[in-house]
Structure 1
Amino acid sequence: MTTRTERLDGLPFTRKHRRLLFGSGIGWALDAMDVGLISFVMAALAVHWSLTPTELSWIGSIGFVGMALGAAFGGLLADKIGRRQVFAATLLVYGLATGAAALSTGVAMLIVLRFIVGLGLGAELPVASTLVSEFAPRRIRGRVVVILEGFWAVGWIMAALIGYFVVPVGDDGWRWALAVGLVPAAYALVVRFGLPESVRYLESRGRVDEAERIVRDYEASAGIEAPGAAAGAAAPATAQPDAGDAPPATAQPDAEAASAPASEAGESIWSPRLRRRTAALWIVWFGINFSYYGAFIWLPSLLVSQGFDLVRSFGYTLIITLAQLPGYAVAAWLIEVWGRRVTLAVFLVGSAVAAGLFGLADSPATIIAAGMALSFFNLGAWGALYAIGPELYPTATRGSGTGAAAAFGRIASIIAPLLVPILLDLGDTVMVFGVFAAAFVVAALAAFSLPERKGVALEDT
């Protein structure tokens, strides 16, 4: 007999998988669009509201305060009430708050609403990646999660297009840009009623009939006949894994399979078995958040401060952002060739080199070239990070483990935008991006200490 999770792991990539990936990916892209828009709004408000660098840095950072809290509580809620429920709720929260932010009458109102936006944004990302990783076939699980992360580039490009075509149209252009952020609120309905709940979560809650029904739907999508016995029965002999999969392990009886997650429930992410990987994961999350958000939230404003007008600086940012897509594509391929750990570390080292070069860039050509390299390597690293995170923890703590790491990383995303004006006062962009490069190096060193999970079943975590 095979367990439900083994049956899922052995399936080929089907129409059902594609629908889950695309449905989750749209939510991911909308999240990225919202985060990206604030960088263009900051640049516009610096001109239209004559804001100081300190005020701008708080507008940029406050959302990450909310994201830190959202990531921690979102992961805990996902382990308590389900991945899909939390995913839909987060879309609703940040979509409504972003639309309301378009009506802001001053800095204080905008800051409060951006904090609420951050709560929803922070909770969504670790929950969505956990949901997708728990359905993806084992032999391509890392690649599927990196493709999910690739939707971030789509969302950021959408933000850059809105920034380029909408924000500069007038004094209220930034308001129309934020109004687009209402779209995620409507999309929450699609997530709630169109995507399945995690089979592993359902089993951990004793909802085996629902879990069995979902697994059979996925098997039917693959052209595999459903088991004829009661829920939990073995898959038929024809349901063999794809070529390249490991042979299925000896099955557990349903009672044993259902009890396994329960036995894991008491294991802390800081238990002797998990604490080393947790510490390393937290360091990677901190370093990549610090450098990514410090650089990209301030990028349009830094270009304006160097003498480029809004339209030109937004145009450069759009070109730089386009390099995120090939970064994800290469990482998605390498993660199943090199493995998670090496891919993550190499892309972090590439990010460090690109950040150093960007700090030294002094012409439009070198700014664009170094910026595109930074986009390529940085976003490839993000993809690998989201792939490896859910693989480090057992089912009962997978949501909270990935959420806690994301929450710790958000502390860095809070600090970095606040630190940029201080670093500029102490030096110039060379110092700013030199600090970012150093953070990438530290993250790369931590990545090498993570366990390699390529081809390992989630239950063997």
Structure 2
Amino acid sequence: MEKTLTRTERLDRLPYTRKHNKLLFGSGVGWALDAMDVGLISFIMAALISEWNLGRVEQSALVSVGFIGMAVGASVGGLLADRIGRRQVFALTLLVYGVATGLSALSTGLVMLIALRFIVGLGLGGELPVASTLVSEFAPKRIRGRVVVALESFWAVGWLAAAVVGYFLVPLENGWRWALALGAIPAVWSIVIRLGLPESVRFLESKGRHAEAENIVAELERTAGITPPDEPVDTEHSKAAKTTMGELFGPRFRRRTIALWLTWFGVNFSYYGAFIWIPTLLHEGGLTLVKSFEFTLLMTLAQLPGYLVAAILIEVWGRRATLVSFLGGSALSAVCFGFAPAIAEAIAPGSDSWQYGVAMLFGSLLSFFNLGAWGALYAITPEVYPTTGRASGAGAATAFGRVAAMLAPILVPIIVVAGLGVLFAVFGAMFLLAMVAAWFLPENKGKALAEY
């Protein structure tokens, strides 16, 4: 007699269907809108330096306050998602940051803009770990990593949109206000998310809401041409085994928690320290505002193939090997980008075109490897903890990473005084820290998500 599968086992055996695609696209658009918001601040800051005569301290405060909000939002959002549901929190966080970003366009001064950027961070920080958890919990186990990397690739689409807006809109009179006004789009999208996406079956099962979970799984099966069983089996969850925040550093999870937190810290420090400041650093290095935005736009295009290669390798090499490899490439690219002027000068002394070309080469490689690493990191993070603490654990790791994202913009103006090479050598060192830490993460390629 054939064994009757539990709902989570039935989810894992499914082929990839149009329902999965709807979930991926619905979550991915929210993800892209998030990226556009984060990316826009790097272009807006470059414009506000001239319009509001911002000093280094004010520039750092404007950037860092958003990451303070993201750290708080990630922690709270993860906890809420394990209590009231992934979809609910996803929609709520989109609404919060969409409204706050739209209101930022009306800012009358730096204080108002900083206050609203904190609220934006709350929504943004809560959304990212929750969205990756939701998608991960629906994806069939044989392609789960690839699906989550595909979700993360929407970040490149959003950052590219920010670069396009920054290039064409921000240099215009009051262009930065119109750019921020576009941030109200997520407020509308949150309604679509709330009405159009299903709640996580694993979450519903953990709360004993078996009838709701069965309806969702049965609909997915019918979409795939599979007849649901007459007598479905509930997935059992032991209340004694529920994961609490305190247990993240207990004997069971301590090693993986430390490794995950350090990986998130190193990646966040280098990514946000570099990409938030690159337009401003290029502008201060002699490029016009439009030319620095053009450089960033072209560099951003390399993120898309980075995601594509990571999505292929993550189900071939595995999550950990892919993450470690892309972090190593990020470290090397960061150092080479920092010393690009010296490299170009050694090849073709006094050539501006070589200066631009060499910087573009290593900047593009940095984009390629860095964003591929992000894809692998988001794929591995929801697999580290069981269902009852998955969103909380992912949110806590994300929050710790946002501490680095907050520190980096503050420290960049201090470190860059020693030279661009020194600054990007620091970024390379942080990538190496993340690479070493990633070796200690569990490998779950092809395995079912842990329920206990």
TM-score, normalised on structure 1? 0.93
Letter in 1 for 2:202: R
Rounded Cα–Cα distance in structure 2 between residues aligned with 1:134 and 1:116: 28
2:320 corresponds in structure 1 to 341
The reply on whether 1:371 has 2:378 as its aligned counterpart is no
For 1:250, the equivalent position in structure 2 comes to none
Q: 1:61-460 counterparts in 2 under 5 A?
A: 61-170=64-173, 172-229=174-231, 232-233=232-233, 254=234, 257-260=235-238, 263-265=241-243, 268-362=247-341, 363-425=355-417, 427-459=418-450
| 1:108-129 CA distance string (max 9 Å, x none) | 1110000000000000000000
Deviation at 1:60, TM superposition (A): 1.0
Query: What is the CA-CA distance between 1:57 and the residue it aligns to?
Result: 1.1
Q: Secondary structure at the match of 2:222?
A: helix
Residue 368 of structure 1 aligns with an amino acid whose one-letter code is M
Contact 1:11 1:222 in 2 (8 A): yes
Cα distance in structure 2, aligned partners of 1:460 and 1:190: 29
Cα-Cα RMSD: 1.1
Shift of residue 445 of structure 1? 0.4
Per-residue CA shift, 1:281-331, capped at 9, x if unaligned? 000000000000000000100000001111000000000001000000000
Segments of 4+ moved more than 4 angstroms: none
- Give the letter aligned to residue 323 of structure 2: L
Q: Contact between 1:261 and 1:396, CA under 8 Å: does it hold in 2?
A: no
Cα deviation, residue 460, structure 1: 6.2
- The answer (yes or no) to whether the contact 1:391–1:458 under 8 Å persists in 2 is yes
Partner amino acid, structure 2, of 1:197: E
Percent identical among aligned pairs is 64
Q: Indicate the larger mover: 269-278 or 74-83.
A: 269-278
Q: How far, CA to CA, are the matches of 2:230 and 2:447 in structure 1?
A: 29
Letter in 1 for 2:201: V
Cα distance between partner residues in 2 of 1:460 and 1:212: 17
Post-superposition CA distance 1:353-408 (Å, at most 9, x none): 01001101221111111110000000000000000000010000000000000000
- Aligned match of 1:51: 54
Q: Judging changes above 3 Å, is the alpha-carbon distance between structure 1 residues 286 and 197 closer, same or farther for their aligned structure 2 residues?
A: same
Q: Relative to 1, partners in 2 of residues 1:201 and 1:460: Cα closer, same or farther, differing over 3 Å?
A: closer
Structure-2 separation of matches of 1:101 and 1:174 = 10
Contact 1:269-1:397 at 8 Å conserved across structures: no
- Quote the Cα distance in structure 2 between the aligned partners of 1:388 and 1:215: 24
Task: Provide structure 2 residue ranges, at least 5 long, that are not aligned to the other structure.
Answer: 342-354
User: Which of 35, 38, 42 is the matching residue for 1:39?
Assistant: 42
Give the superposition deviation at 1:456: 1.1
Partner of 1:26: 29
Displacement after TM superposition at 1:183 (Å): 0.2
Secondary structure at 2:450 match in 1: helix
Counterpart-to-counterpart distance in 2, 1:460 and 1:84: 19
Letter in 1 for 2:51: H
Partner-residue secondary structure (3-state), 1:19: helix
Give the match for residue 247 of structure 1: none
Which structure 1 segments of 5+ residues have no match?
Answer: 234-253
Q: Tell me how far apart the structure 1 counterparts of residues 34 and 99 of structure 2 sit (CA, whole Å).
A: 13
In the alignment, which residue of structure 1 is the partner of 2:347? none
How much does 1:184 deviate? 0.3
Query: Matches of 1:410 and 1:265 in 2, distance apart?
Result: 23
> What do the CA deviations read for 1:391-435 (whole angstroms, capped 9, x no partner)?
01000000000000000000000000000110122x111111010
SS at match of 2:15: coil
Matched positions, count:
435
Partner residue, 1:241: none
**Aligned partner letter, 2:176:** W
Contact 2:237 2:451 in 1 (8 A): no
**8 Å contact from structure 2 (residues 387, 451) kept in 1:** no
